Structure 1
Amino acid sequence: MKHHHTSALALALACAAFGSHAQQTITVDAAAPAGDPATGYLKLGTAKSSTGQILGVNNRYLTLDGKPWMPVMGEFHYTRSPADTWEAELAKMKAAGITAVASYVIWNHHEAQNGVFDWKGNRDLKRFLQLCRKVGLKAVVRIGPWAHAEVRYGGIPDWVVNGMRTRGNDPQYLRYVTRLYRQIGLQLKGELWKDGGPVIGIQLENEYNLVGPGQGAEHISMLKKLAIDAGMDAPLYTVTGWDGAQYPSGEVTPVFGGYPDEPWAASSTELPPKETYAFRFDSRVSGDLGAQTKSHGRGTAESDIDRTPFLGAEYGAGLPFMYRRRPVVSPDDIASMLPVQLGSGVNLMGYYMFHGGRNPQGGTTLEESTLSGGYNDTPAISYDFQAPLGPDGQQRAVLTYLRPFHHFINDFGSRLAPMTVRKPDTTPSGPTDLKTPRVAVRSAGDSAFVFVNNHVRQYALPTQSLRFNVKLAGGAVAFPRRAVDVPNGAYFIWPVNFDLDGTRLRYATAQPVARLDGGADGITYVFAASGRIPVELALEDTGAAIETRAHKSIEGGATIVDGIEPGTLRALTIRRAGGRPVHVLVLDAEQARQLAIGDFGEKGGQRRLVLTNQQAWFDGGKLQLRSVGANNLRFAVYPALKQTPKATTVLRAAGNDGIFQAFEATLPAKHLQAGFTPLREATDAPPIQKGGFAKAALQPIPEAWRTAAAWKITLPADALKDVDDALLRIDFTGDMARLFDGTRLADDWYYSGYGWEVGLKGLAQRNELSLAVLPLRADAPVYLPKEGRPAFSGKQQLVHLNKLYLTPVYKITVSP
């Protein structure tokens, strides 16, 4: 949903956006050669695995066994998630197209007391990495010592903060960092890349921009030495490159990020258009990413731009809620960043966070807060982050919007990675220019991809009537034949001179998603329609027969296929003498969001396409389906299974859905209700104070909870019988809320209008639940989304428990 704003800047931008726009041809000169990638500058650890694989890096991209390699990395914090769920959650990430998992080692989660380390249960890093290996995911371990991660003291234990100078080469501090690193090294032993394990990278420190004696590049050099001495020998050593980062050039590789809003900002109103939605042609460093320390100098990453590849680590797959600012993001707000970042040259799409979680508790709660000197106030327990996978493993809508892009990267990233960024003849003057089309091209030789973004969070953009003229070494490609209207909110990637296993696709007004080898049945290329933009494919005439139900014509030495109706039937088939057929499948946008790809079938599985509205992932050739609320589960698979599969319930053949073989299952419906009774009424909440480093709204002090309203929650005794889980959704109006499991603080939440869900499986004493809610004051100087801000109707404060929803979660396993 797009929002309208009353600020002068917003009104001016909105007025400009709705001007009249004639047809435009965006011209991009991509004919000049880019030059060969350079190697040898970056000092790597052992690059060869015991299995013989070699991971490399040059100044433009990563390589795997000498070939360009573009991973997709997602952050998942093992200490913020139950250990007995790790394997399934990692498998869900893999099915979502994630190829590498990043995770902080948060020091105060492991050594709350001096010399007493805890690597058991939810803190068992070695087991987490072993499961990454088992599932087939690579790993990047972010070893700190300072992590940030919205954790108390950035993850450094209280006894360290209170006793010595941190984040520099102070001898006392380094003595304890050395001990920590040795402990981490023991956890990583046997799981490093050189040992055949998943760990391909080690991140040192985080958001580090301190300068001075024993700091800056000198400190990062020391941390790298200590890590290596502790046995942490990995191909990549990384540091975050934003906010004026300081590091020793050549010793480490910078990684970058960007977010669609700034929860850490002090503003209580909407922000101007974020540069996250604007293509970058001259820099990799986005604006403020929330580093706790400030730097006014030029970061090392700026001078390293020609020496290092453009790798990401913290592109927001969601946003956290902070007390003073609680922005809610839509799936489009997140997914539209992908064509922008890829079109700007990113060669590793790394997300923070991809999986939400909850903070553990020690002698104190471990969240970042102004009470402990932090810049931000964050929930004590919740680290939901609006992530694609919620803390209880639930799939959010944003995951389905991201997944087609991940499939594209997984299957065609080797083509994209060597391509260099080319700037169009017309570009916006800056992030606040909402009139000029937002376009970029990446090319290598005669092939290219065109990246278009017409979405900016909270701002409407005009419909753009566009054609493209991409000038390549072998000649220009102008397309489509007639300008197409790109509406507000649209974003996509279109190919130019794209190889379809021997047939050149001159262009397509649809996005490539995947390539599937169906054996004797041929090769299938999957595309996704870009909304309602007409699908037009142009194939160069090579003498092959092209079969299609759509309109076909010959123009300029190419076969033009248009009038394609997106769906589950093949759009066309290319037949060449002596070769296997090549099929093109064009799904509509909604079907593309239902597409999961993984190994499913006999003998460990064959790579297949699965269409389903349910949450889907793969495990040892089996298909796992999970459904929140709906007891009817349906999936369709291509290529067809050789025999009717079995399932943990009765599975029915449901005919064919185009080229897909469909199945259905119905589980016994479970109707669950939660009740609540008042324990105490709210009293007048104290005024919200301003202060702290941000000079903004401060979270109420703990004693303010005496003014909270409270309710007892009652659940059915058999709520978890015959279901995978049950999600308790708490619909309340107020400022902050806390859920207690007995006397244990189980979860908490800042009100924003975004739905709060808690899985019952994670609650130990489900018959002793209670809820406390602090009133929301009408004069609270906090940012709430317009659709979430309640009407006070003259009242000074609001507090109400509107409704409790208890939703069953159904699950089946399908075996070949």
Structure 2
Amino acid sequence: MSDISITPTCLVRDGRPWFPVTGEIHFARIPRDRWAEILEHARAGGLTSVATYVFWQAHEPEPGAFRWDGNRDLRAFVELAGAHGLEVVVRLGPWAHGEARHGGFPDWLTERSDLVPRTDDPAYLDLVRRLYGQIADQLVGLTLAEGGPVIGAQVDNELADQPEHLATLRRIAEECGLHVPLWTATGWGGAQVPDTLLDVYSGYADGFWAEAEDGWPAWAAQHFRYSSVRDDLGVGADVQAALEATASDGGATASTAADAAAGTGATGRTTPFATCELGGGMHVAYHRRPLVTPRDVAALALAKLGSGSVWQGYYMYAGGTQRVGATGTEQESQATGYPNDVPTLSYDFGAPIGEHGQVRDHHHLLRRQHLWLATDPALAAMPATIPSGDPGDPGGLRRSVRSDGRRGYVFASTYQPSHSPLPAQPGVQVTVDLDDGPVTVPSRPVDLPSGVSVVWPVRYPLTAGLVLRSATAQLVTRLDHAGPDGGPVVVLAATDGVPVELVLDGDVAADGPVTAAPHDGGTRVTLTAPPGRDTAVDLPGVLVLVLDEGTADRLHRPVVDGVPRLVLSDAPLTVAADGRTVVVRTEAPAPTVSWWRDGGWSPRSLDVPRAGHHRIAADLAPDAPAPPAPRRGGPAVRLAAPTDFSGAARIHLDVPEELLDAAPGDRVLLRIAWTGDVGRAVLADGAVIGDHFWHGRDWDVDFTPWREEVARDGLTLELLPWRRATGVHVDPSVRDVPDGIRLRTADVVRVVRHPLTPDELCEETA
């Protein structure tokens, strides 16, 4: 057991600053047999914990009849997370949102007219007490105090003006037996959060909840600036307005934007800046379909770190599939009072780990950040100093410093999404005032290209006697006792277009592809070779690797048999719950894995012949004979998703049986590159196994659970055409496509789970 506490500036664990990294994973939206795979990726991605909603509708579909079986098994999920070295934050609800029908409330609850939900109405609280009692029973023996992984709980979601009710929810949960060190509630929207809960915040690069006519939302732009402002008035504002419009007399209502802007809610509170919903991607609605890129996600996360975040929490970290209940699919829709229609099944969210376990580029970009946070958790105790001025000025350098007075980090950014790019910044140089004097980074001004975010260390201790005064490369990780002489290996990542310099305190000898010269009482080291896998600077007692960005994105730091390693891998690499089995999951038949051994990299080319891509269709332009007319609905009168596919184009795909063969742990996907409006993947018996609102990203359908049916009968794609005049919003980068339907390619993608052999692990064999 360890001790966790909250100070005004950071979280503390066992007396030291602690920097948790949490990713949202919804166990009830993922097949149970895939939980382990997703948790392996989460741990490999540098998460320290996972957060998960307990959707009331999934667990009490009928009054008093609770279900915790199958992929509803909260206890089994928490135990499995713990086995993978991950702690858990349980989002208790009762109201969740999460793009679930009725915010996760069961249908029977919404039909009750004798109670007022989301208030301290005794009739409602009786039902909440029953739910929380069931959840607490599921978690007996699994809390931190009991030696388990559950460290926190969040009550309700996006409830802005009911602080007494939020406090009541915590009290009820504790009365039911749930005792955890961290209790949270969402703070955005000007929320009034009681002192008994830690307010946690969000930040998204775009939002499906904006209007189709809107360009890039102003509330999204603020998240790419360094700022002391934590709140976001845009997230969930449309749903709050709809709930307010339909609330019963005396029920909960949303705070107005004016109240929030005026400071209603958290005024006077002194809490650390913690997040729970940094956009790991973005969902799509029918009327508005953002295309958030991996670099958008990574830059936003770094901007929050530069703004003082002490807890990085992502929503979503792994996508899933909407549940189907007794009355149909359980997604939010205009038919159930929401402003938006979202896909009936897909909850992929463009997340680092996709709906079907696809590992995306931002998983790797974020891993670099998380490795740094694990290497130097002291960042949590370093407050952010942000220069005054207009943070919206696109012409100036965006910068911040986090420092404890002894050392710190310089943050600088020229990154915004392609909707509104920022210019390059010439002659960048920042002076950091420390207790023992100023440090100027870099020693000579450098030009910062457009579209980059950098974090430069200041006075970072490489060893007990050697201080890195500054560097124009980012700290990634370190491995003690891994150098050729038994000293540490410190890994830095260069930024494309930014020359690398290291400035060290004192007169220091440096070997490798470098030049060294005295500078201001220290030694300035510059590279004479480009950053890369083999670019190493040999300093007294430490070896510094300076990787290029592409190589740094391939860097993993698995712990195998209790020993941390450095690995470069072309394919996602994880460690199973046993702590010994190292696994790659690859779409390519010959990925390379390189292990750091004896002061250098030992590469192995893996032979995975079952992996690969196989084309089964291409260059098709089917006609939809009678697409439905556009329509609008819901409280915001937005474009509504079509439900009539009788006039859709149909493409039948036959799939060779040998392409559907899969060993346990393998995945077989259909990857469709297309343009159109809405698509469904349908089996011969009419079952819909996948759906997609086209928005510029490929559409993946998981064949794995349906291999026999697809081998026997094939699969039919039902596609509706793109009609620009309808007014659906898609990203400008993909908007200029002709009306109609174009299927460019349809590939069967075989993703193979390949456990590494002792030889592939670079271990000595008997």
- TM-score normalised to the size of structure 2? 0.90
Q: What is the Cα deviation at residue 690 of structure 1?
A: 3.1
| Superposition CA RMSD, Å | 2.2
Contact 1:266 1:694 in 2 (8 A): no
Match of 2:607 in 1: 666
Match of 1:609 among 556, 563, 566: 566
Closer/same/farther in 2, CA of residues 779 and 544 from structure 1, 3 Å limit: closer
Instruction: Check the 8 A contact 2:24/2:314 in 1, yes or no.
Output: yes
Tell me the percent identity. 35
Map residues 546-695 of structure 1 onto 2, 5 A cutoff. Answer: 546-564=510-528, 565-569=530-534, 571-575=536-540, 581-600=541-560, 604-619=561-576, 620-628=579-587, 630-640=588-598, 659-668=600-609, 672-674=614-616, 682-695=624-637
Q: Which of 299, 304, 309 is matched with 1:346 structurally? A: 309
Cα offset, 1:177, TM superposition: 1.2
Distance 1:479-1:802 versus aligned 2 partners, 3 A rule: closer
- Aligned residue in 2 for 1:181: 132
Contact 1:70-1:410 at 8 Å conserved across structures: yes
Q: Whole-Å Cα distance in 2 between the matches of residues 666 and 57 of structure 1?
A: 49
Q: C-alpha displacement at 1:738, in angstroms? A: 1.3
Q: Deviations over 1:355-374 (max 9, x none)?
A: 01101201211000011101
Match of 1:368 in 2: 332
Counterpart-to-counterpart distance in 2, 1:342 and 1:671: 38
The answer on 1:168 being equivalent to 2:116 is no
Quick one: structure 1 residues 624 and 300, their matched pair in 2 at CA, closer, same or farther if it must change by over 3 Å? Answer: farther
CA distance in 1, matches of 2:524, 2:47: 35
- Tell which deviates more after alignment, 121-130 or 708-717: 708-717
3-state DSSP of counterpart to 1:668: coil
Match of 1:302 among 261, 266, 276: 266
Give the drift of 1:382.
0.1
Contact 2:620-2:743 at 8 Å conserved across structures: no
After superposition, the C-alpha distances for 1:426-445 in whole angstroms (9 at most, x for unaligned) are x4x243x2111110111112
- Which blocks of at least 5 consecutive residues in structure 2 are unaligned? 241-253, 759-766
Q: 1:105 aligns with which of 50, 54, 74?
A: 54
CA shift, 1:569, in A, is 2.9
Question: Is residue 387 of structure 2 the alignment partner of residue 387 of structure 1?
Answer: no
Determine if contact 1:448/1:496 at 8 Å carries over to the other structure: yes
Please list the CA deviations of residues 225-255 of structure 1 after superposition, one character each: whole Å capped at 9, or x if unmatched: 111112111101100000121232x210011
**8 Å CA contact 1:283, 1:302 repeated in 2:** no
Q: What SS is found at the alignment partner of 2:415? A: coil
For the pair 1:331 / 2:294, whether they are aligned, the reply is: yes
Question: How many Å separate the matches in 1 of 2:535 and 2:675?
Answer: 49
* SS class of match (2:289): coil
* Partner residue of 1:706 out of 646, 667, 674: 646
- What corresponds to 1:444 in structure 2? 404
What per-residue deviation string (whole Å, max 9, x for no partner) do you get for residues 299-318 of structure 1? 6653154x211111000010
Which range moves more in the overlay, 345-354 or 566-575?
Answer: 566-575
Specify whether residues 287 and 531 from structure 1 end up closer, same or farther in structure 2 by C-alpha distance, changes over 3 A only: farther
Tell me which moved more, 167-176 or 178-187: 167-176
State the AA in 2 paired with 1:153.
Answer: H
Residue 271 of structure 1 aligns with which residue? Answer: 216
AA at the equivalent of 1:783: H
Q: Aligned AA for 1:481? A: S
Question: Residues 476-497 of structure 1, C-alpha deviation per residue, up to 9 Å, x if partnerless?
Answer: 1113232111111111110111
CA offsets, 1:541-588, max 9 Å, x none?
Answer: 1x664433300011211011012531223532332xxxxx21111111
The answer for the alignment partner of 1:508 in structure 2 is 471
CA contact (8 A) 1:678 1:710 kept: no
- What is the CA–CA distance in structure 2 between the aligned matches of 1:230 and 1:800, rounded to whole Å? 56
In the alignment, what sits opposite 2:687? 744
Partner SS, residue 584 of structure 1: strand
**Structure 2 counterpart of 1:566, one-letter code:** P
Tell me, yes or no, if the aligned pair for 2:160 and 2:187 is still in contact at 8 Å: no
Which digits, 9 at most, give the CA deviation of each residue in 1:19-45, with x for residues without a partner? xxxxxxxxxxxxxxxxxxxxxxxxxxx
Q: Distance in 2 between matches of 1:484 and 1:72?
A: 32
What is the match of residue 248 of structure 2? none
Residues of 2 paired with 1:380 and 1:207: CA distance? Answer: 23
What letter corresponds to residue 668 of structure 1 in structure 2? P
Give the equivalent residue in structure 2 for 1:719.
659
| 8 Å Cα contact 1:317/1:387 also seen in 2 | yes
In the TM superposition, residue 789 of structure 1 has moved relative to its aligned partner by 2.7
Gap regions ≥5 residues in structure 1:
1-48, 211-215, 576-580, 641-657
How far did residue 462 of structure 1 move?
1.4
CA distance in 2, matches of 1:326, 1:393: 21
- CA 1:140–1:506: 2 relative to 1, 3 Å: same
Instruction: Map residues 82-161 of structure 1 onto 2, 5 A cutoff.
Output: 82-161=31-110
* Structure 1 residues 803 and 633, CA gap change in structure 2 (3 angstroms): closer
2-structure distance, mates of 1:680, 1:339: 44
Partner of 2:277: 314
> In structure 2, how many angstroms separate the alpha carbons of the residues matched to 1:417 and 1:301?
25
Tell me the matched-pair count.
721
The residue number in structure 1 matching 2:446 is: 484
- Rounded Cα–Cα distance in structure 2 between residues aligned with 1:382 and 1:516: 40
Identify the residue that residue 199 of structure 2 maps to in structure 1.
254
Provide the rounded CA distance (Å) in 2 between the counterparts of 1:677 and 1:474: 66
Alignment partner of 1:204 is 2:155 = yes
* Contact 1:527–1:584 under 8 Å retained in 2: yes
Partner of 1:41: none
Distance 1:528 1:442 in 2: 19
Supply the AA of the counterpart residue of 2:438. Answer: A
Counterpart position of 1:493: 455
Change (3 A) 1:681 1:477: closer
Question: Taking structure 1 as reference, are residues 680 and 731 closer, same or farther at Cα in structure 2, changes over 3 Å only?
Answer: closer
Equivalent in the alignment of 1:411: 375
Kept in 1: contact 2:508–2:523 (CA 8 A): no
CA contact (8 A) 1:277 1:336 kept: no
Secondary structure at the aligned position of 1:450 is classed as: strand
Output one character per residue of 1:487-538: Cα deviation in whole Å (capped at 9) or x when no partner.
1111111011111122111100000010211266211111000112110001
Over residues 85-121 of structure 1, what are the superposed CA-to-partner deviations in whole Å (9 max), with x where a residue is unaligned?
A: 1112101111011111000001111112222211111
Alpha-carbon shift at residue 378 of structure 1 (Å)? 0.6
| Residues 284 and 677 (structure 1), Cα distance of their counterparts in 2 relative to 1, 3 Å cut | closer
Alpha-carbon deviations, 1:719-773, whole Å to 9, x = none?
Answer: 2335622220123332111112333221111011211112221336323432212
Query: Does the 8 Å CA contact 2:190/2:233 hold for their aligned counterparts?
Result: no
**Aligned partners of 1:697, 1:340: CA distance in 2, in Å?**
33
- 1:287: how far off? 3.6
**Shift of residue 815 of structure 1?**
4.2
Equivalent pair of 1:312/1:348 in contact (CA under 8 Å):
yes
Q: Distance in 2 between matches of 1:287 and 1:114?
A: 35
Alpha-carbon distance change, 423 to 247 in structure 1, aligned in 2, over 3 angstroms:
closer
Letter in 2 for 1:374: Y
Match of 1:218, SS?
Answer: helix
The C-alpha deviation readout for 1:587-606, integer Å capped at 9, x for no partner, is 11111100111113xxx141
**Contact 1:356 1:391 (8 Å CA) reproduced:** yes
- Is 1:56 matched with 2:1? no
Amino acid at match of 1:459: S
**1:666 to partner: Cα distance:** 1.8
- State the one-letter code of the partner of 1:626: R
Moved over 4 A (4+): 675-681
Asked whether the 8 Å contact 2:46–2:370 carries over to 1, the reply is yes
Within 1, Cα distance between the matches of 2:171 and 2:621? 57
Kept in 2, the 8 Å contact 1:276–1:337? The answer is no
Residue 455 of structure 1 corresponds to: 415
Asked if 1:540 corresponds to 2:505, the answer is: yes
Tell me how far apart the structure 1 counterparts of residues 622 and 297 of structure 2 sit (CA, whole Å).
40
* Contact persistence 1:528–1:589 (CA under 8 A): yes
Residue 525 of structure 1 is matched in structure 2 by 490
Distance 1:128 1:186, change over 3 A: same
Instruction: Give the whole-Å Cα distance in 2 for the aligned partners of 1:239 and 1:435.
Output: 37
Identify which of structures 1 and 2 has the higher relative contact order when contacts are C-alpha pairs closer than 8 Å and 6+ apart. 1
CA contact (8 A) 2:25 2:317 kept: yes
**Structure-1-length-normalised TM-score:** 0.85
For 1:87, the aligned partner's letter is A
CA distance in 1, matches of 2:202, 2:49: 16
